[in-house]
Amino acid sequence: MGKPTGFLEFQRQLPQDRPALERLADWKEIHLHLPDAELKKQGARCMDCGIPFCHTGQLVSGMASGCPIHNLIPEWNDLVFRGLWREALDRLHKTNNFPEFTGRVCPAPCEGSCVLGINDPPITIKNNEVSIIDHGWDQGWVVPEPPAKRTGKKVAVVGSGPAGLSAAAQLNKAGHTVTVFERADRPGGLLMYGIPNMKLDKQEVVLRRLDLLEKEGVKFVCNTEIGKNYPVEKLQKEFDAVIIATGATKGRDLPIEGRQLKGIHLAMEFLTANTKNLLDGVKPGMQITADSKNVVVIGGGDTGTDCVGTSLRHGCKSIVQVEILPKPPLERAKDNPWPEWPKTLKVDYGQEESAAKFGADPRIYLTTATKFEGDANGQVKAVHTVKVEWTKNDKGQFVPKNVPGSEKTIPAELVLLAMGFIGPEQPLLEALNLERDARSNAKAEFEKYTTNVKGVFACGDCRRGQSLVVWAFNEGRGAARECDRFLMGKTDLP
């Protein structure tokens, strides 16, 4: 490394976020930027650690450890330190088609496995990554690079989320003619409608990259649902290969008493409608608003946080986030050693904003909802909850057990269910006669991505279940590689 003692000389430094109360007044991205001089110091903190676990991309104890797309992190950290931004961008693009996305929304398992993080705060890998790509866009270095020649092979990609986009980008790079089918009115999938604008700007970030893909030759066909208004038979007849990348969009519901009441929505219904309103303007029937309402979000994780941040921007009256798990510790527990993903308490942007507006973190732990209460008009007005404790059952499994006498009623005119996803929607998989695994996902071996139907590949969350955006990018690239091998008998794709 260019600065062997950098990790001893410089402290971890992240850019400031815009003040919480200020950013609640708009939908702009919340992060500010560090000056180049400070970014060089952060690059200098990267150690000559011998074995850089940051880019291993393995599952350890069921969680991502290191970068799933194997970013060449030490290399571009060193290039940032040296001020060689163009070279850093070239190294970044070798493994990552869309670093402006991962640099904004990836939870950074690379930082959780950073060797420096054993004893000190880890390298600011995620911020270094987004700084490199943003610098590239600002300098005009990111330009369309259509393939020099076409192979004559046509590939259909079904789904334009992270897995579909990375598969399309790689297959187009290999010279195939790629058409991406999307049932929504805009491409992008989760990146467009599942992640709020304050985390990932749609106009300036997502649409900019989609426009570049189109200029490189990728064709997007929206408002088209395969198996519904575009027959599966036509798809298989017109294309030489098909990649299924539809995601795991079936939300986990909460079928307790009162679920039928008005004002109870799956998180994605709320988040999707909000983004459509921002892009198109509010239309009758589109608005699910938290304005002047008591809001209860059931579920933690990124989606729960996004519901909190969006509700606050709507102008909610109050916000409570219900989490069934215990409050995480501030430091790694003994059973959560490096290089595992650190299961420690994190205060994300939504919780920070709630504390700024209402004076407290909105999360309550070890709590579950037992009933929704409605008014005379069938509108939800309260959520009944109870505390739980986690105990082992007769099979040795930890399960939640209600604590008698801990019942509580929380007022709520809007309830958002953010408890994750249980798998892909089934109609398309059924229409293609694809085999499913025990969890209802498309059955295809990791790193192979081939299904039981010749010429049909599956990747991303529809294959592995709900996971990280960066795993979807990994699988999209891998599926493109195997699809190229199927079409050409060999492949040069990584």
Distance separating alpha carbons of residues 327 and 319, to the nearest angstrom: 18
Spell out a b/e string for 447-484, using b for 16 or more CB atoms within 10 Å of the CB, else e: eebbbebebbbbbbbbbbbbbbbbbbbbbbbbbbbbbb
pLDDT at 325: 96
Specify the domain boundaries for CATH 1.10.1060.10 within the chain.
6-139
| Residues near 306 by beta carbon (within 8 Å), at least 6 away in sequence | 195, 196, 199, 267, 271, 350, 418
pLDDT at 285: 60
Q: Are 264 and 380 in contact (CB under 8 A)?
A: yes
pLDDT at 281: 85
pLDDT at 314: 96
pLDDT at 476: 98
pLDDT at 50: 87
Instruction: Indicate the CATH number of 6-139 among 3.60.20.10, 3.30.390.30, 1.10.569.10, 1.10.1060.10.
Output: 1.10.1060.10
Distance separating alpha carbons of residues 469 and 106, to the nearest angstrom: 6
For the 154-249+422-488 domain, the top CATH level (class) is alpha beta
Distance separating alpha carbons of residues 67 and 111, to the nearest angstrom: 9
Structure tokens at 467: 């996971």
Question: Mean pLDDT, 10 residues at a time, over the chain (494 residues)?
Answer: 89 96 96 96 93 92 93 96 97 97 96 95 97 98 97 98 98 98 97 97 97 98 96 96 97 97 97 94 77 96 96 97 96 94 95 98 98 98 98 91 97 97 95 95 96 98 95 98 98 96
Report which residue type is found at 116. Answer: L
pLDDT at 284: 61
Specify the domain boundaries for CATH 3.50.50.60 within the chain.
154-249+422-488, 253-419
The predicted model scores a pTM of: 0.95
State the DSSP string of 213-266. HHHHT-EEE-S--BTTTB-HHHHHHH-SEEEE-----EE-----BTTTSBTEEE
Q: Does domain 253-419 sit in CATH 3.40.50.720?
A: no
